[in-house]
């Protein structure tokens, strides 16, 4: 199962569609400035980063595209309907409790972890190492560094999809409509444009409602097993109306 897979270009092509039109994350003035910065991100910076994957090109793409998706203080991009102040402590308090539990002496003993080692939910030091290599784009909070789809790499790791599919792996994509971090239109664009054995079939497949839920399923090669139970097929997108970035959490 994969959650919000996107390539660097699709992320930036569709981020403003989600934040300006499909949700209320950005106001009119922010959208105007962001759209003005978009061509410089997509055309020279990002395209050159793909063609010439040197550190200099990746850094240029990172910095040019940062102007397209500014942070909004006090909003949770992971789920635009969540009422919180935008911090991990307020929006996702379970992460605080997880940290406390993982660092209990009894937990470390049970897991066989030396007592002097501490579990850390997110690390600014680790983030800065990735950011310096233009593997990640910066955000204001340490939590966002860990979970952000702005962590989309300028290195095209999405090209690993094809060998996975050719090897027979089945891929299920869980995506939430309320995610303004990794906009679902960008995910759909990535999957439609992805060169793979499933590309044409996926693009021609209809959206199917999931009975009893506000969910649409876009599937390739849906099949039934020997007991008559239908499977999701080899390459499937599940779009959840009432979920955000953390689909199973919501």
- Per-residue model confidence (pLDDT) at position 229: 52
- Per-residue model confidence (pLDDT) at position 122: 78
- Per-residue model confidence (pLDDT) at position 22: 94
Residue 220 has pLDDT above 90, yes or no: no
Alpha helix segments (H runs only) across the chain: 8-16, 28-40, 47-51, 55-66, 88-91, 94-102, 105-111, 124-132, 142-147, 161-166, 184-193, 199-204
Residue 103 has pLDDT above 90, yes or no: yes
Q: What's the whole-number average pLDDT of the chain?
A: 80
Phi-psi region of 148 (alpha: psi -120 to 50; beta: other; left: phi over 0): beta
Q: Which of 34-38, 86-90, 169-173 has the weakest average pLDDT?
A: 86-90
């Amino acid at each position: 199962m994969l959650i919000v897979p996107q390539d660097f270009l699709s992320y930036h092509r569709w981020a403003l569609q989600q934040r300006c039109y499909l949700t209320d994350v950005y106001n009119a003035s922010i959208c105007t400035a962001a759209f003005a910065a978009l061509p410089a991100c997509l055309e020279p910076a990002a395209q050159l980063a793909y063609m010439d994957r040197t550190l200099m090109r990746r850094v240029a793409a990172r910095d040019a595209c940062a102007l397209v998706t500014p942070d909004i203080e006090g909003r949770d991009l992971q789920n635009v309907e969540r009422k919180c102040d935008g911090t991990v402590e307020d929006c996702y308090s379970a992460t605080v409790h997880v940290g406390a539990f993982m660092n209990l002496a009894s937990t470390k003993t049970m897991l066989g972890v030396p007592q002097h080692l501490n579990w850390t939910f997110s690390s600014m030091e680790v983030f800065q190492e990735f950011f310096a290599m233009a593997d990640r784009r910066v955000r204001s909070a340490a939590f966002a560094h860990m979970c952000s789809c702005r962590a989309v790499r300028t290195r095209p790791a999405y090209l690993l999809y094809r060998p996975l599919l050719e090897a027979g792996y089945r891929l299920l994509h869980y995506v939430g409509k309320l995610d303004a971090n990794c906009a679902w239109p960008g995910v759909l664009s990535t999957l439609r444009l992805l060169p793979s054995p499933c590309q044409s079939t996926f693009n021609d497949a209809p959206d199917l409602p999931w009975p009893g839920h506000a969910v649409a399923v876009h599937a390739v090669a849906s099949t039934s097993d020997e007991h008559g139970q239908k499977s999701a097929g080899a390459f499937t997108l599940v779009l959840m109306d009432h979920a955000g970035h953390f689909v199973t959490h919501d």
